[in-house]
A and B are shown apart, each in its own frame.
Chain A
Amino acid sequence: MTGTLTGTAVDVTDLTVRFQSKRSSTTALDDVTMRVDAGEFISIVGPSGCGKSTLLKVVAGLVRPTTGSVSVHGEAVTGPQRNIGFAFQRAALLEWRGVRKNILLQAEMRGMDKARAAARADELIELTGLSGFEKALPHELSGGMQQRVALCRALLHEPPVLLMDEPFGALDALTREQLNAELNRIWRETGTTILLVTHSIAEAVFLGTRVEVMSPRPGRLMRTLEVDLPRERDYAQVMTEPGFGTLTREIRELLGSTSNH
């Protein structure tokens, strides 16, 4: 199912989002246009509060655009999208369910075929190295393992598009690199289109085929940078590539120039 879809996965056109409160209105996103091809991995970086998360939520149909339009695989987004997977900053696990049951929540809510969902869950548990922890409750797991569970849950229904909102932000550097490597592998193996919001410039470049740099609020797409690295990536190796250093420096300068305002 995944990987077979081609063409434009996510199409964002002239998107503006304004939040209206009683006293004031805040523009979170201003005239954002972005097109993502199927199988791409887009990293979105930008200063805090620039609307990166809002962009993902609009694509997921959780936030309505004020103006402009969004479509996922040709279908206009008008309400919560079912054909996507979403990974949150905090793992957002149900603390009363074990690992496997947490992953299967996705199947229960969607009314997926039980046997197929169970088989798929076991596959993902295997893939993310959670074997042996199927019944462990979230509070018995480390932060990295919790995020792995959340990732499995987001991938259970084999969504063509996976949206990730700073999923590794709360992890220590080593666990983070490890999970980045795993995510790279999962992306290659499943062919899922991924949009990742992150604060880490290294992570953005390591994972992305393209990095979108956003400006401070109101969020605009400031610059698009193609990452010219092979799809299969390894931290130790990528770090030494001259292209990696050039790109991270360029992004840092872009973000630095905006924060001086």
Chain B
Amino acid sequence: MSSGMSSIVADARQDGDQEPGGDAPPARRFDLGGQLLRLWEAVWRPGILLAIVFFFWWLASAQEWMPHYLVPTPGQVWDRMAQDWSSLMYHSYVTLWETVVGFVIASVLGLATAVLIAYSRTMDKALYPIVLFAQVIPKIAIAPLLVVWFGNGLAPKIILAVLIAFFPVVVSGVAGLRSTDPELLELSATMGASRWQTFRKIRFPNALPHLMAGEKVAVTLAVVGAVVGEFVGASEGLGYVLLLANGNLDSAMLFAALILMSLIGILLFVVVEVAEALLIPWHASRRSTTPLTTS
């Protein structure tokens, strides 16, 4: 399956490994300067906004409009982070690991479910209500149950991350697989393609833009799932740190944990975003080039 998957992905990408073909087509080489420029383009606006937020945070805490045990100064949070750096890194790693494992499992299960739903009417009727039911159950409500069932280890956190990240993958996957142009399917039939060939070369690559949109939602939700799991019963992870800090009225630590959680979410989102850029450079949402010809 793994070689099958990698060849699917290879097919979905626009293939640049052909023989050189004339002089007219534009070169699509990796362009570091351009990438950095695009990064800067993406970063400066939210950067300014973030600086403003930080400024008011600093102002509010430094002026002691609110007491330090409620709102610490950025400096205090920074000091706390530096002081407990190695321990915070360890707990971040635990949360990151739970999130990533949960997200990967949710992606695989979600895609498999989406394929079943898209290909079989029976499965559509049977599975969709269950998937929806799994989605509408408040995850926080079942977290204690999961801890009772699976103990204090990684399992309940990963399961919560899976449960919460699963739904957007299924919904986007089904939408993507169903959005195949009927003409492409007829074309495939005239070529005598098998169902697997049609899936691999047409339906799956065609579904990727939808699917990746779902993956982006899923990865940010997976962080929530892992942290909620840690709230309910854990001896490690950022959720545990946060709960502990809250109990000790250690607001600097609490803020430090919050910031690290957000960073994990942003980091994973960027990873999925980059994966998307590599997988579907051809899609309208990712185009930067203008048409070669107008005639």
Interface flags, B253-295, vs A, CB<8A=1, else 0: 0000000000000000000000000001011100101011111
Q: Determine whether the beta carbon of B289 is less than 8 Å from that of A140.
A: yes
Q: Determine whether the beta carbon of B188 is less than 8 Å from that of A109.
A: yes
Q: Determine whether the beta carbon of A88 is less than 8 Å from that of B183.
A: yes
B247 cross-chain contacts in A, Cβ below 8 A? none
Q: Determine whether the beta carbon of B282 is less than 8 Å from that of A133.
A: no
**Is A22 among interface residues, defined by CB-CB distance under 8 A?**
no
Instruction: Report Cα–Cα, A97/B22, bound state, in Å.
Output: 17
Contact of A92 among B181, B192, B193 (CB under 8 A): B181
B12 cross-chain contacts in A, Cβ below 8 A? 96
A84 cross-chain contacts in B, Cβ below 8 A? 190
Interface flags, A95-122, vs B, CB<8A=1, else 0: 1111011000110111000000000000
Contact of A132 among B16, B23, B184, B197 (CB under 8 A): B23
Q: Determine whether the beta carbon of A82 is less than 8 Å from that of B191.
A: yes
Q: Determine whether the beta carbon of B192 is less than 8 Å from that of A134.
A: no
B283 cross-chain contacts in A, Cβ below 8 A? 95-96
**Is B129 among interface residues, defined by CB-CB distance under 8 A?**
no
Instruction: Report Cα–Cα, A131/B15, bound state, in Å.
Output: 18
Number of CB contacts from chain A to chain B under 8 A: 110
One of A1-9, A141-149, A210-218, A222-230 contacting the partner: A141-149
Instruction: Report Cα–Cα, A139/B290, bound state, in Å.
Output: 9
**Is B6 among interface residues, defined by CB-CB distance under 8 A?**
no
Q: Determine whether the beta carbon of B18 is less than 8 Å from that of A101.
A: yes
Considering the complex of A and B, which 9 residue pairs feature the smallest CB-CB distances, nearest first? A134-B21, A132-B22, A132-B24, A109-B191, A80-B189, A82-B192, A109-B193, A96-B282, A86-B190
Given known contacts A94-B206, A96-B14, A141-B292, what 16 new A-B pairs fall within 8 Å (CB)? A60-B186, A62-B190, A80-B192, A88-B186, A90-B183, A92-B183, A96-B205, A96-B283, A98-B14, A98-B18, A109-B188, A109-B192, A133-B292, A140-B293, A144-B295, A175-B295
Residues on B close to A: CB < 8 A?
Answer: 12-16, 18, 21-25, 181, 183-184, 186-193, 197, 201-202, 205-206, 280, 282-284, 287, 289, 291-295
Residues on A close to B: CB < 8 A?
Answer: 57, 60-62, 80-82, 84-86, 88-90, 92, 94-98, 100-101, 105-106, 108-110, 131-137, 139-142, 144-145, 175
